[in-house]
């Protein structure tokens, strides 16, 4: 995984940190991966749906899970990594509970999304592409999320927010943080 030539910078944390950040070591999660593999075992071309389900379970693809998949499907790990590193939907680095996708497409850019990016980076104390230390947020920038009429826009998980001001972005982050602390 360290040598995987993927298109985006892979931020693999030190092994101890990665282990602490993922609950993969827990038997229930290892069992979850086994369940996912079992569910798709008889399908043709099952690697992609398995990786999607594993990514959805952990919010990223832990190395241990990839090794588990490779072993069970009798595939070389390099083949699993080739698929895992090809699609934007997958992450080889731990990601937070909430993925913030801020649009920097042309429509949003001219409506002020760079200011929003500055604000979010300041508010969260991270740069885009990074995850907060409490693993609550990952901040990503994307090119158009398909709602240009609402520019500038961002998405958090399945929720879309449009015509955003920096103040509104702040309040939205606060509401997610507050909800997580309840």
Q: At CB < 8 A and 24+ separation, what contacts does 171-177 make?
A: 173/120, 173/123, 173/124, 173/137, 176/98, 176/136, 176/137, 177/136
**Does residue 103 interact with ligand FES by CB under 6 A?**
yes
Task: Please pick, from the candidates 62, 94, 96, 105, the single residue that binds ligand FES as defined by CB under 6 A.
Answer: 105
**Does residue 102 interact with ligand FES by CB under 6 A?**
no
Q: Provide the 3-class DSSP secondary structure of residue 60.
A: coil
Q: How far is the CB of 103 from ligand FES (least distance, A)?
A: 3
Pairwise CA distance, residues 128 & 150, whole Å: 21
163 DSSP 8-state letter: S
Q: What is the per-residue binding string for ligand FES in 134-163, x denoting contact by CB under 6 A?
A: ----------xx-xx--x-x----------
- Concatenate the DSSP letters of all residues of 66-135 into one string: HHHHHHHHT--HHHHHHHHTT-TT--SS---SEEEEEE-SHHHHHTTHHHHHHHHHHHHTS-TT-B-TTS
**Residue of closest CB approach to ligand FES:** 105
Q: What is the per-residue binding string for ligand FES in 60-99, x denoting contact by CB under 6 A?
A: ----------------------------------------
Total residues interacting with ligand FES, rule: CB under 6 A: 11
Please, which residue, 47 or 103, has the CB nearer to ligand FES? Answer: 103
Query: Residues in the site for ligand FES, rule: CB under 6 A?
Result: 103, 105-108, 144-145, 147-148, 151, 153
């Amino acid at each position: 995984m360290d040598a995987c030539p993927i298109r985006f910078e892979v931020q693999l944390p030190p092994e101890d940190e990665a282990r602490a950040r993922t609950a993969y070591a827990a038997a229930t999660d290892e069992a979850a991966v086994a369940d996912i593999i079992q569910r798709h075992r008889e399908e043709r071309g099952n690697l992609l749906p398995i990786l999607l389900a594993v990514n959805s379970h952990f919010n990223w693809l832990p190395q241990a899970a990839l090794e588990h998949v490779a072993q069970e499907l009798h595939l070389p790990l390099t083949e699993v990594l080739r698929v895992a590193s090809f699609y934007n939907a997958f992450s080889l680095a731990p990601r937070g509970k909430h993925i913030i996708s801020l649009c920097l497409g042309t429509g949003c850019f001219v409506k002020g999304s760079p200011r929003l990016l500055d604000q979010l980076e300041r508010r969260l104390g991270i740069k885009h592409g990074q995850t907060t230390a409490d693993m609550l947020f990952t901040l990503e920038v994307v090119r158009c999320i398909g709602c240009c009429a609402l520019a500038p826009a961002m998405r958090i998980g399945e929720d879309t927010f449009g015509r955003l001001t920096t103040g509104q972005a702040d309040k939205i982050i606060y509401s997610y943080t507050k909800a997580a602390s309840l």
